Amino acid sequence: MPILNYDLVNALINLTPESTLAEARKKRLNTTENTQAAFEAIFSAPSTQLTGDVKFLLARCVAEQTGSPALADFYHQLLAQRSPALDTPALKAATKYVETLVSHPKQTHYQLIHSLIESGWNEQDIILLAQLVTFVTYQARLIEGLKLLHDASATSNQAEPITAGPWNNHPLTHQGRPSPVAFTQEQLGWEAWLQARDKHSLTADEAQVMKKFGQLNSEYFLLLAHHSNILEIRTMIDRDIFYTANGLPRWEREFAAAVVSKVNGCIYCASVHARKASQYAKDRQTDVARLLATPAGDVLANGYDARLTAITDLAASLSATPIQATPQHVNTLRQLGLTELELLDLIQSTAFFSWANRLMLSLGEPFEVTQDKE
């Protein structure tokens, strides 16, 4: 049962049908429609621990921490003066998990998941909690980014440049595999901290969808398949953002995803999308390598040409918590000739990886694939 019968993102940014941005969003209709579908699927999914009011309260907290007042107010209104207490052991564990995941995603670790299990959470509810939190961080960045596109005339103070975040320095994973301690374009494995679904337990329809998207042999996707409908919707958003024609060149979309991964310290996501950026634009491999080599604490938008510097600056600033992106970031890109569709692609690529990084970082960890395991 849909919660709303309209586009929440359009409603919160007061987007008029005749605007240039509305026309651009029509060209990315699958993302527009499936973002609404993901919202409805996550907030209507049944759960023992996550009642409707608890979902809305946690979503409001996520939106506030992320830096989207409009979205926080929306979830506050859905609470309708009801404010459930988060003082049970299960919800206290959830609150700690949420606060860490939103503001310091790289600091999520196995023990946070173990605490959820110890306090009574089952795997299906933990996956739903992770999808709820990470989706709202995407939703908040999408809304705030599109607000900048819709009205970049507002004045703002000069934002501080965003730096690379910390990343893993533990040599072994929870299961004892060798763990990457530096960003790389090499292919990595990923192990879950929860029990993924056995692919033989999938229904025929679930298996067919996952096979179509090449997900049947992935522990990560089989873990997310505890809520297979949400996984399918999320995958369709991913494909529309990164695989559509025209708009922002695909290598720049992939580069933006790698920028977000550097902000959040997600070595696994960076390895995948830096590798794709290098494949799509072989003449820019030096830029990709420079991004991955940026030390923690160093400015990310540094050493590139004007266009790539501005792309990196916006992607990093929109990925900061709270959000630091300003009208000036958008105006600079417009002055460099980016079209509305290119800007939309950049905002959506960046926002989506808030969702992707946080799922990967909070449900498991990467490991190095040695030759004898390939």
pTM for this entry = 0.95
User: In whole angstroms, what separates CA 284 from the centre of its chain?
Assistant: 25
Report yes or no: 164 and 260 within 8 Å, Cβ to Cβ: no
Q: Please state, in angstroms and rounded to a whole number, the distance separating the CA atoms of residues 280 and 41.
A: 34
Phi and psi dihedrals of 365, rounded to 5?
A: -155, 155
Residues of the chain short of pLDDT 50, as ranges, are: 1-4, 372-374
Q: What angle, 0 to 180 degrees and rounded to 10, lies between the N-to-C axes of helices 306-319 and 250-264?
A: 50
Q: Please state, in angstroms and rounded to a whole number, the distance separating the CA atoms of residues 72 and 62.
A: 8
Q: Please state, in angstroms and rounded to a whole number, the distance separating the CA atoms of residues 58 and 314.
A: 27
Per this entry, what is the length of the chain?
A: 374
Single out the residue of 135, 127, 124 nearest to residue 71, CA to CA.
135
Single out the residue of 191, 134, 129, 195 nearest to residue 373, CA to CA.
191
Span 313-359, pLDDT tens digits = 999 999 999 999 999 999 999 999 999 999 999 999 999 999 999 99
Sign of the alpha-carbon dihedral angle for 30, 33, 35, 39: negative
112-145: b or e for each residue (b if 16 or more CB lie within 10 Å)? bbebbeeeebebbbbbbbbbbbbbbbbbbbbbbb
Report yes or no: 87 and 166 within 8 Å, Cβ to Cβ: no
> What pLDDT is attached to residue 151?
84
> What pLDDT is attached to residue 157?
66
- How many other C-beta atoms can be found within 10 angstroms of the C-beta atom of residue 30? 14
Q: Please state, in angstroms and rounded to a whole number, the distance separating the CA atoms of residues 190 and 193.
A: 10
Q: What percent of the chain has pLDDT over 70?
A: 96
> What pLDDT is attached to residue 335?
97
Token couple for 224 = 């997310």
> What pLDDT is attached to residue 160?
87
Single out the residue of 23, 43, 20, 41 nearest to residue 32, CA to CA.
23
> What pLDDT is attached to residue 32?
95
Amino acid residing at 68: S
> What pLDDT is attached to residue 373?
41
Pairing of strands 364-368, 188-192: antiparallel
